[in-house]
Structure 1
Amino acid sequence: MAGNLTLDREALAARLREIQDVYRSDARPWVIGFSGGKDSTCTLQLVWKALQGLPEAERRKPVHVISSDTLVETPVISRYIDETLARISSAAREQGLPVTTHKVSPNTDRSFWVNLIGRGYPAPSRRFRWCTERLKIEPANDFIRSRVAEFGEVVMVLGVRSAESATRAQVMSLHRIKDSPLSRHSSLLNAFVYAPIEALTTDDVWTYLLQNASPWGNDNRQLSQMYKNASGGECPLVVDTTTPSCGNSRFGCWVCTVVQRDKSMEAMIDSGEEWMQPLLDFRDLLADTQVPEAKLRYREFRRRSGHVYFIDRTDRPAPGPYTLEFCKTLLERLLATQVELQRNAPPGEDTLLVHDAELHEIRRLWRTERGDWADSVPTIVERMLGRSLDWVAEDEVALGAEAGILLQEVCEEHGVPVELIVRLLDVERASHGLKRRTTVHSRIEEVLRREWRPLDVVVDERRRKLREEGALAETDGAVREPIPAPWLPFPEVEDAAS
């Protein structure tokens, strides 16, 4: 169906017939992406209405309604979606429809807080939007793959519209199956895409929603009011990188820093949700770390790979992950924000910002990868939350606080980087007790390849090199290869993005 559409009675009937025809055409299960916003709500209502119009014997094929929970959703929206999914599930059972609901979330080791606070990933930006794939694409695609493994093929039903995303429209056109309303999924094998509202305008969507009651008992006028209370659109279920950004979205993550200001959350607070102000304050703290001149105040000058990369033809290092000390500050502020929300939020709001499993994983990463021999996470949690988790005893995983202090003193006395010795000790502990230790030498070599010198020494060497080449110039924003670490007689070659 091409062009814009006025959704009159005749056009609506044709749309419902097409949905019925596609549904009955094969045995492939449907997976409907549901974000709770206007487009996904319109899509689900149309599918629901089409299924109601089929004889009971013809509506046997399962329809899975999945909603993505990034674990950092705005609390008001999270509650709205939870309540809506519960109503959908209950109404489907009562009305005899083959519809089930599912929430998909990232694995703990891929969650936002584990990456940001545990590994030190900087707050997402337009140039490094690491959150979308880990928090949205992977969980949704894992669910789709599980249905493919069970049924062989699957049809994704998405509330995407050509009018909202030219890129998406182009991709769908490129993968369109001839003489079929379906497209092949751009990246998932044996997955197909059906977009029943692809040609609808925004006015079409709202007209349908406001003139047709929700079959699961929601109030679409409440949904309309939610849009009026804040700027921005909805954040669709994301299943590939062609889906439009949900930055500045009404239905998005409260930690989103892809945009400079979160006008949506500001508008929500102005419209009466003052208890959410601590969320905005924390989000703005993350946004402040992206100011170019302040980056090295919060971030390491080395990348996670251990190397130093410089902005093209300059002596300015391209900053790496957040420092461990700043990650400690972030954890303290996050827990303080959670406590304040729990104290001031209205009854029924979800004020849990970070889960216990995430705190355990953050602790593990700090202990095993970031040299936190003081074991700071239990101390911070006890101080901020007033309780202790069932922490795992890790006698052999990392140095204790006293051993760490002693190691610091010895390293300073001999002029050896303490982080280097900690890494070498980690290699030894990981190899201890193994019958074959053939990889230990390569692992030691990998540690020695990292850059361990202080920043001023590394920058001085960079300046000398640039002066010799006559190449010192203003940056063009590009990042180039690192200078070789001096611990080995030969240079390394590594991807600058790692």
Structure 2
Amino acid sequence: MSNKTIQDIYAEIQEVYQRFPQPWVIGYSGGKDSTTVLQLVWYALAQLPESKRQKHVYVIASDTKVETPLIVGHINSTLSLINDQARQQGMPFSATKVEPVLNDTFWVNLIGRGYPAPTTRFRWCTERLKIRPSTRFIQEKVTAFGEVILILGIRKAESSTRMQLMNSYQIGEHVLRRNGSTPGAYVYAPIADMSTDEVWSYLQQVKSPWGGDNRKLVALYRNASAGECPLMIDESAPSCGSSRFGCWVCTVAERDYAMEAMIDNGEEWLEPLLELRDFLAMTSDPDRKLEYRDIRGRDGRVVFKKDGTAAARTFKLEVSKDILRKLLTIDKSVREKGIKLIDETELAEIRRIWRIERQDWGDSVAQIYLDIFGIKPQWIDDDDEYFGENEKELLVSICKEHSVPYEIVAKLIEVERSSFGMARRANVFREIRKILHEEWRSKIRSLTQSQLQI
């Protein structure tokens, strides 16, 4: 800790708080580092007279909606305690969760649009699930106040990469650092020079000021042997897989050691989640990709690699159905614990995407839900808006008779249906041209099967 005492850190926090007028935003992830930062700030400000702690401190926790269930419960209870105790103690804190918008959620993109499981080369999830929600909140505050100061639980001792990144954004000898991705935001890292042992020592010796139990946090780590996933405001940070508390569906890391450790330590109910995560990871195996993924992307085009073979792109619709079936089966089994792995708005959006973009006229989402839960989904109220199984059977037979791919005609019909009654047709013609320029040649479409046989 570079000869700094805890009281020295308190004094530094007080000096920064009083010197700069910008409001503070603390990134809280539920792990040891962000908990330490929040605790340090709380105790430091509590030592100031009430007249000098009028500047607001926003505490935000990023909920990707696919966080490890155990950490979700811990975060929710902590945010509630922070808000309650801030009111009772007259502290300038308010805590809230930030989430991805519906269009950006993991399941809407992976199951709905058929995005492949994230990998180191295609990490489409980080921007959508973590960066955008936090950035949106921060930018709202920048718009309202001109500038903000982000208080983050990042430490140089985490890795040499982290140290280099933190040093590169340092402003001279100042404690504030530039934020490389959000104009108008500065970063303050009170525990930058603390070691992991010092962090744990502080948490075990100093009680939580909002009434939380740091022993439970210690137990979480003991059971998971894990690090934590910090608030992410740019993509330079590493993935939160491997030994970190992060998304339970993370396939960027080879294995989810944290969840494996939790299961080994008695949380057997997490096994189905780990199995689904491992299945998703397996679909990116180079030797098996084409079993699960189509060679045509969402844009309808085929991309060829340097060796002349077609690249695997989005999940096949049947594979998406299988993933949804697996997910809802697990979701049903964990609901007795008060956990929901996917919500109704996501299911409704997946259904809409499948019916409009993936020609699922058979309404598979509703049928899969009915098969698993035994009841008709309550969120379905638009059955007259789309075509159904009867129309699909008729169209398939007509297309087969004329040797025309069913999908192209279904897409063209969908464009006309969705634009019915529009006065201007320019966008309609643009969509029609786009569909006609997709790859529909039977020779190309048969590549998947031929590559699988090689």
What is the TM-score with the length of structure 2 in the denominator? 0.94
What SS does the corresponding residue of 1:223 show, helix, strand or coil?
helix
Matches within 5 A, 1:27-66: 27-66=21-60
- Residues 263 and 253 of structure 1: CA distance in aligned 2, closer, same or farther (over 3 Å): same
Structure 2 equivalent of residue 420 of structure 1: 408
Structure 2 equivalent of residue 366 of structure 1: 354
The yes-or-no answer on 1:322 pairing with 2:318 is no
Distance 2:245 2:46 in 1: 28
Distance 2:426 2:30 in 1: 54
AA in 1 matched with 2:131 = I
Structure 1 equivalent of residue 384 of structure 2: 395
AA in 2 matched with 1:213 = K
- Tell me the number of residue pairs that the alignment of Structure 1 and Structure 2 aligns: 449
387, 392, 395: which is aligned to 1:404?
A: 392
* Percentage of identical aligned residues: 50
What SS does the corresponding residue of 1:54 show, helix, strand or coil?
coil
Could you tell me how far 1:431 is from its partner in structure 2? 3.5
What SS does the corresponding residue of 1:403 show, helix, strand or coil?
helix
AA in 2 matched with 1:33 = G
Structure 1 equivalent of residue 440 of structure 2: 452
Distance 1:447 1:167 in 2: 45
8 Å contact kept, 2:348–2:379: no
Distance 2:425 2:141 in 1: 42
Could you tell me how far 1:455 is from its partner in structure 2? 5.9
Distance 2:249 2:145 in 1: 37
Matches within 5 A, 1:189-204: 189-204=183-198
- Residues 459 and 366 of structure 1: CA distance in aligned 2, closer, same or farther (over 3 Å): closer
Structure 2 equivalent of residue 264 of structure 1: 258
The yes-or-no answer on 1:276 pairing with 2:270 is yes
Could you tell me how far 1:259 is from its partner in structure 2? 1.6
Distance 1:392 1:128 in 2: 36
8 Å contact kept, 2:239–2:253: no
- Residues 441 and 140 of structure 1: CA distance in aligned 2, closer, same or farther (over 3 Å): same
What is the TM-score with the length of structure 1 in the denominator? 0.86
Structure 2 equivalent of residue 335 of structure 1: 328
291, 294, 297: which is aligned to 1:300?
A: 294
Deviations 1:213-239 (A, max 9, x none): 111222223222221212331111111
8 Å contact kept, 2:114–2:315: yes
- Residues 335 and 455 of structure 1: CA distance in aligned 2, closer, same or farther (over 3 Å): farther
Distance 2:91 2:210 in 1: 11
61, 64, 69: which is aligned to 2:63?
A: 69
Could you tell me how far 1:15 is from its partner in structure 2? 1.4
8 Å contact kept, 1:302–1:308: yes
Could you tell me how far 1:453 is from its partner in structure 2? 2.3
What SS does the corresponding residue of 2:227 show, helix, strand or coil?
coil
- Unmatched 5+ residue regions in structure 1? 344-348, 464-498
Could you tell me how far 1:399 is from its partner in structure 2? 2.7
8 Å contact kept, 1:6–1:204: no
Structure 2 equivalent of residue 125 of structure 1: 119
Could you tell me how far 1:69 is from its partner in structure 2? 0.8
The yes-or-no answer on 1:92 pairing with 2:120 is no
Distance 2:84 2:413 in 1: 56
8 Å contact kept, 1:87–1:217: yes
Matches within 5 A, 1:162-177: 162-177=156-171
AA in 1 matched with 2:2 = L
Structure 2 equivalent of residue 492 of structure 1: none
8 Å contact kept, 1:168–1:242: no
- Residues 172 and 453 of structure 1: CA distance in aligned 2, closer, same or farther (over 3 Å): same
Deviations 1:179-226 (A, max 9, x none): 421112111121111111111111121121122111122222322222
Structure 2 equivalent of residue 475 of structure 1: none
Deviations 1:388-436 (A, max 9, x none): 223131534x432111111111111211111111122222223332222
Deviations 1:61-104 (A, max 9, x none): 00011111111111111111111111222222222110110011
8 Å contact kept, 2:241–2:255: no
Distance 2:421 2:14 in 1: 63
Matches within 5 A, 1:112-191: 112-191=106-185
Structure 2 equivalent of residue 25 of structure 1: 19
AA in 2 matched with 1:318 = A
Structure 1 equivalent of residue 2 of structure 2: 5
- Unmatched 5+ residue regions in structure 2? none
The yes-or-no answer on 1:226 pairing with 2:223 is no
8 Å contact kept, 1:278–1:341: no
8 Å contact kept, 1:301–1:455: no
AA in 2 matched with 1:41 = T
Could you tell me how far 1:49 is from its partner in structure 2? 1.2
